[in-house]
Structure 1
Amino acid sequence: MKRILALIAFLTLSIAVVSCSSSKGGGSGSTYKRNVEASYYHDKFNGRRTASGEKFRNSDLTAAHRKLAFGTRLRVTNVANGESVVVKVNDRGPHKRGRELDLSKRAFMSISDNKNHGVIRVNIEVLN
């Protein structure tokens, strides 16, 4: 009986800790990284298979990340102008040191304030 009560207490406490820690960001998502570099895919990758097996299209709202699970939805916000976009992780990368995300061209251009730059500083929130 004591073991059962101890198990119930442990599970209740675990659930409380998890629910408190996942409520950052106003309930819409939890901040994953702040002020990191993001770039975008070159057009030459259109039509190629991503690491998840999907066909890459620069017209989709997708991203590459080294570790986050495929299908993870992210809110990516440009630090300079506050513009944000929601993307789905479907590939691995970026392969350049110091960069956190490779965005599809559509995603990048929708939040970029200078279309002539290939890198921007962003904040990343995990939505699911």
Structure 2
Amino acid sequence: MDLRERRKQRVRAKLRRGSAGRLRLSVFRSSQHIYAQVIDDEAGRTVAAASTLDKELRGSLKTGADKAAAEAVGKLLASRATAAGVDRVVFDRGSYVYHGRIKALADGAREGGLSF
């Protein structure tokens, strides 16, 4: 198992211990896009999802790989999650350090109404 996978598993283990039944906001970052989804681990399903590939965002973004795009994805995800009845989540940053695009997405989700 490589270091990145070990770091991701370590973060998820801490989330499981402290989540208290809350849903998980999971983030994936590629070199060109950013994706986020709210996951119900107990039921094994995705409640809400958003990415820079969504039609609502694609035309308005300059690129899918900057902080502005990540913040827009966070706001869109928060609006979809609140429409599905979710307002409290636990933030799963995966193997990524909490800065840059990951932090911008989290801030956008908080502005959109999610609390974590």
- Determine which structure has greater relative contact order: mean sequence separation of CA pairs < 8 Å that are 6+ residues apart, divided by chain length: 1
Identify the structure with the greater helix proportion.
2
Give the TM-score taking structure 1 as reference length. 0.27
Larger Rg, first or second structure (1 or 2): 1
Identify the structure with the greater strand proportion.
1
Give the TM-score taking structure 2 as reference length. 0.28
